[in-house]
């Protein structure tokens, strides 16, 4: 069967279309370029993690590593079908993965709500399978979280931000919020890319609409 890449980039691949991937993880950096901490852990017991997809992961990662209370960040892929994909494979649209940032943080030092505010205000969550000039499923807006409490808070914040966007004349939010699937680290060259290449590409743009505090306990929705 012949697939047209332009078409596959705008829809999720079926299991029959997805690239096979590989059993072993691809090589990546050992430590964070900015803070020197181990990318793959071990992480302190006090930390929690979340995956944010908001377009090109180079610019998205840079938003989070300077935040006090964030222990380490890393870029990679999640939410698709292909195990242990390479960056080049994800660009075909045939893995189903989104580019995401792993944020490992200490909730005693930085509340999850602050990370959510950075997420919502740091990109345009109304664009579906794209972010600005970056087009395809890889660039969709996602929040993948491992705990029920995080998911409920993320859904409440989505509802609050959707109302703010609607009031500003923006379209509906297309962000997917779901339990965290497997996370696959991207190659070393992509980790903390904009710290090593300060003039590198970053197409990330917000809407200019501030994210209000979410109503307590409003975590309904998928």
In a domain, 114, yes or no: yes
**Secondary structure class of 145 (helix, strand, coil):** strand
Q: Is residue 97 part of a domain?
A: yes
| 9-50 confidence digits (pLDDT tens) | 889 999 999 999 999 999 999 999 999 999 999 999 999 999
Q: Is the pLDDT of residue 147 over 80?
A: yes
- Residue ranges making up the domain that contains 53: 28-196
Q: How far apart are CA 62 and CA 183, in angstroms?
A: 19
| Domain annotation covers residue 20 | no
Residue 5 lies in a domain: no
Does 208 map to a domain?
A: no
- The reply to whether 148 falls in a domain is yes
Q: What is the predicted pLDDT for the residue at 203?
A: 86
The total domain count for the chain is 1
pLDDT in tens, 70-87: 999 999 999 999 999 999
Q: Is the pLDDT of residue 213 over 60?
A: yes
Report the pLDDT value the prediction gives residue 217, as an integer from 0 to 100.
46
Looking at residue 126, its pLDDT comes to 98
- Provide the CB-side half-sphere exposure for 221 (13 A, CA): 17
Greater pLDDT, 19 or 222: 19
Domain of residue 182, CATH code = 3.30.1060.10
Which residues, including other chains, have CB under 8 Å from residue 68's CB and lie 6 or more apart?
109, 110
Task: Please check whether residue 107 lies inside any domain of the structure.
Answer: yes
Single pTM value for the model: 0.94
CB atoms within 10 A of CB 30: 11
Task: Give yes or no for residue 152 having a pLDDT over 90.
Answer: yes
Based on the residue annotation, tell me whether 211 is a catalytic residue of this protein: no
Residue-wise pLDDT for 79-132, tens only, equals: 999 999 999 999 999 999 999 999 999 999 999 999 999 999 999 999 999 999
Which tokens is 63 given? Answer: 């938003």
Residue 141, domain member (yes or no): yes
Among residues 19, 39, 56, 165, the one annotated as catalytic is 56
């Amino acid at each position: 069967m012949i697939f047209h890449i332009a078409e596959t980039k705008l829809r999720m691949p079926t299991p029959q279309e997805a690239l096979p991937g590989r059993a072993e993880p691809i090589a990546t950096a050992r430590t964070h370029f900015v803070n020197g901490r181990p990318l793959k852990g071990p992480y302190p017991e006090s930390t929690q993690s979340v995956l944010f997809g908001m377009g090109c992961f180079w610019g998205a990662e840079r938003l989070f590593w300077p935040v006090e209370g964030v222990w380490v960040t890393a870029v990679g892929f999640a939410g698709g079908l292909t195990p242990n994909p390479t960056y080049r494979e994800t660009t075909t649209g045939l893995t189903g993965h989104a580019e995401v940032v792993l944020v490992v943080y200490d909730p005693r030092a930085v509340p999850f709500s602050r990370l959510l505010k950075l997420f919502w205000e740091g990109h345009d969550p109304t664009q579906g399978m794209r972010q600005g000039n970056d087009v395809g499923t890889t660039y969709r807006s996602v929040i993948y979280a491992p705990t029920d409490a995080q998911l409920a808070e993320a859904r409440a914040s989505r509802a609050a931000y959707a109302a703010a966007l609607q009031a500003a004349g923006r379209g509906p939010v297309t962000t997917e919020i779901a339990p965290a699937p497997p996370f696959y680290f991207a190659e070393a060259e992509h980790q903390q890319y904009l710290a090593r290449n300060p003039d590198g590409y970053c197409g990330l743009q917000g809407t200019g609409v501030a994210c209000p505090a979410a109503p307590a306990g409003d975590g309904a929705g998928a």
